[in-house]
Amino acid sequence: MNDDGRFRRSASHFTDRITADGRDGWPVEAGRYRLVVSRACPWASRSLVVRRLLGLEGALSLAVADPIQDERSWRFTLDPDGRDPVLGIRFLSEAYDARERGHPDGVSVPAVVDVPSGLLVTNDYLRITLDLETEWTALHREGAPDLYPEHLRDEMDDRMDGIFRDINNGVYEAGFAGTQEAYDEAYGKLFARLDQVSDHLAGQRYLMGDTITEADIRLFTTLVRFDAVYHGHFKCNRNKLTEDRVLWAYARDLFQTPGFGDTVDFDHIKRHYYQVHEHINPTRIVPRGPDLRGWRRPHHRDELGGRPFGDGTPPPPPPEDEVVVPL
């Protein structure tokens, strides 16, 4: 939080990349790395969707942290004995400290850890998914979609930058604002951008045209949390997602697409936001609503045409140990 009451997100401190040529010292290698996520976190949820769509479950193992953190960071209390069964640690901070004792920032997800050494490799959430899409291609499943098409990258990067600034991070700037002025500014930018995106999507099925891309994944992870937490908890309450005809149908379309809704855990999402942010919700009461059954209702977005996976195919069902309790 800045002195002016505006929330500022810190840049990722650990930005090494896992690449096909291993130029940062971390070569792509099946089974070597472990992706640590919280299903509550929108930044981590991006990596969950991308990993599913690309079929990387067998190449990049998954650790899911408890949605409730404590002062020692993300913890593995969902696992037997409270330890991650692969890394053997109780807290994600142990991998951070193994890499750099006294690192300047907090412990965040998603994070990729090198299994043999136990060292954190990266917590660069902006880059992790792009590298999964472009550097891990040798390990993609047959039929994996192209989520970051080379001919669209400049336009995509510009669109994703606006979505990040005003929507993905904008809800946090509103929710964590320390002054009325800071809140009003973030609120205005958020809904102006949502209106712009809604207009854009009124005539086409996905953000970049007729196929799903990384841009849709980044927008989806905020939209799917909007009514459950951001509308009330973060005071982003001009209207609900369900009150925007286009965005609500678009979000349902993605939710019902294999690889999206089957990674979403609303229980983790709600418990994390309402119980961890005690400065916003000191009672730590988790609201019962909203009614989530609407996520399964028909969306009719297929009337716009499009091919969700382009020349690719839908991913198979998730591994049995990664299945989320359905709505």
pLDDT score, position 2: 63
pLDDT tens digits for range 28-80 = 999 999 999 999 999 999 999 999 999 999 999 999 999 999 888 999 999 99
Does the annotation mark 41 as catalytic? yes
Are β-strands 33-37 and 61-64 bridged in parallel, bridged antiparallel, or unpaired? parallel
Q: Are 128 and 121 in contact (CB under 8 A)?
A: no
Say which residues have a Cβ less than 8 Å from residue 106's Cβ, sequence separation at least 6: 10, 73
Beta bridge partners of 63: 36
Which residue among 33, 125, 148, 172 is the active-site one?
172
DSSP states along 261-273: GGG--HHHHHHHH
Which residue among 33, 41, 148, 230 is the active-site one?
41
pLDDT score, position 213: 98
Structure tokens given for 259: 């690889």
Say which residues have a Cβ less than 8 Å from residue 270's Cβ, sequence separation at least 6: 228, 229, 286, 287
3 has a pLDDT exceeding 70: no
Does the annotation mark 172 as catalytic? yes
pLDDT tens digits for range 96-120 = 999 999 888 889 999 999 999 999 9
Q: Amino acid identity, residue 225?
A: R
105 vs 184, which has greater pLDDT?
184
Q: Which CATH architecture has domain 150-322?
A: Up-down Bundle (1.20)
Say which residues have a Cβ less than 8 Å from residue 137's Cβ, sequence separation at least 6: 20
pLDDT score, position 325: 86
pLDDT tens digits for range 213-259 = 999 999 999 999 999 999 999 999 999 999 999 999 999 999 999 99
State the sign of the Cα–Cα–Cα–Cα dihedral 133, 138, 140, 142.
Answer: positive
pLDDT score, position 11: 80
CATH topology for the 33-139 domain: Glutaredoxin (3.40.30)
Q: Are 227 and 290 in contact (CB under 8 A)?
A: yes
pLDDT score, position 72: 85
User: Which helix (H) or strand (E) covers residue 326, if one does?
Assistant: none
Structure tokens given for 242: 């369900």
The segment(s) of the chain belonging to CATH 3.40.30.10 are 33-139
The segment(s) of the chain belonging to CATH 1.20.1050.10 are 150-322
Per the listing, tokens 């500022």 go with: 8
